[in-house]
A and B are shown apart, each in its own frame.
Chain A
């Protein structure tokens, strides 16, 4: 597969890893955060951690739109789906996210709610067109990668003059989230993490470009390297970050030049601006309330806004008190350091969103990497 296979070359990866090992200063510890869930998944699935020297550490960030969706919003979606006459269309990733009281969309479906898993927002519009007796609500989530597709599907519904289609909008913004991680002021308990740099999201950046990161990099003096999704892209980006840190730079560099430009996709940005506007405030699971961090439909599109049509008022719902997803999302704790990990919390019985989404740090660690904990656990047992 062109543009895929050549970026999965294991021999080349090991050679670049050797370069990383030779350029990483032995007395220094490097800590980099990959923001995007897709990068978390790639790092785990390909075992990239094994290629890095022990003083280069990857920390998983909150760039997983499923993981940061607050429980209250899933409760809203379940209530919507249980309404007679409503068909809720959702991405499959959301089906098992835990909501209040042990509920989730999968269980609601079993109890009779008309919930349909779809691949694309366009499918939801086509279902609405084919089934005029149903009101179809599309459960929209995602960072800027996905927002344009939702915008286009609303445009399509308008062109088709559909009166039975609306969107429950939970689209969120990336630069704001990065800022929240970097700045202590916004974090609920004042903790901060010391990362030396970021691997910037791949496909969010095809839409927003690299320009939005420039201000962040300068203000917090941390380098940001936008990287592609393939494992070689990630390895190369780590090398670039190490060089920046060694040289005391904090620039925005674009490793994903084959798909990302400085200004991004202007058609997509216009599509988003046409349909959506900023919310004053939005709750992020694990990060608390963040201002100007999420989108809602403009007044002109009120008829397609499920929140307005169904008068949804979200009741904030707290996470399980023992759940440490908040700290994991902010890179303060590793999955294995959460008390619930592997005991009460697993992909079969997720307590929090980090475990249920395949891109969540905990799910990735469980599915691909927890065999490494064994070695550490063994050492602890031996020492006891």
Chain B
């Protein structure tokens, strides 16, 4: 139920709606809850409404933090079907 997914804004339409696309699948959704949406922005989509814009810098920073936390040099998971 709390399902919300990051999705790209392809076009901003009238009445606070936008066309968004994920992997070639597109949908018409409401952007009434997010200010100043531009084409190319990524928003979080939940039950037909965009909840917030995703911040690309913060996304990058999260990945950096994850890599820093990682223990380096672990062997890659072996193929389970040798």
Contact = CB atoms under 8 A, between A and B. Distances in A.
A and B touch in the complex (CB under 8 A): yes
A268 B30 contact: no
Given A148-B33, A267-B34, A18 B74 contact: yes
B48 A119 contact: yes
Contacts of A206: 4, 44, 51-52
A203 B54 contact: no
A12 B66 CA distance: 8
Interface stretch (A70-78, A120-128, A189-197, A215-223): A120-128
A67 B69 CA distance: 35
Interface string B46-82: 1111011011101101110111011110101100000
A143 B34 CA distance: 19
Contact of B6 (A3, A152, A239, A357): A3
A295 interface: no
A128 B5 CA distance: 28
Contacts of A152: 30, 32-33, 49
A14 interface: yes
Contacts of B63: 6-7
Interface residues of B, number: 40
Given A12-B67, A142-B1, A359-B2, A258 B55 contact: yes
Interface in A115-173: 119-123, 141-143, 145-146, 148-149, 152
Contacts of A325: none
A348 interface: no
A19 interface: yes
B2 A38 contact: yes
A119 B47 contact: yes
Nearest to A150: B47
* A interface, size bucket: 35 or more
Contact of B69 (A19, A38, A142): A19
B71 A120 contact: no
A141 B47 CA distance: 12
Contacts of B62: 228, 233, 236, 255, 257-258
A4 B6 contact: yes
Contacts of A255: 62
Interface string A197-226: 000011110110000000000000000000
A229 B45 CA distance: 13
A6 B44 CA distance: 16
A255 B65 CA distance: 10
Given A4-B5, A36-B2, A229-B4, 11 more contacts: A1-B23, A2-B42, A15-B71, A37-B1, A120-B48, A142-B2, A145-B46, A257-B61, A258-B59, A258-B62, A359-B2
12 contacts: A3-B59, A12-B70, A18-B71, A19-B71, A120-B48, A123-B48, A149-B46, A201-B2, A203-B4, A259-B55, A260-B52, A268-B33
Interface of B: 1-6, 8, 22-23, 30, 32-35, 42, 44, 46-49, 51-52, 54-56, 58-59, 61-63, 65-67, 69-72, 74, 76-77
Which 8 residue pairs spanning A and B have beta carbons closest together?
Answer: A120-B48, A15-B70, A3-B6, A258-B59, A18-B71, A38-B2, A257-B58, A258-B58
Interface of A: 1-4, 6-7, 10-12, 14-16, 18-19, 22, 36-38, 63-66, 91, 93, 119-123, 141-143, 145-146, 148-149, 152, 201-204, 206-207, 228-229, 232-233, 236, 239, 255, 257-260, 265, 267-268, 271, 357, 359
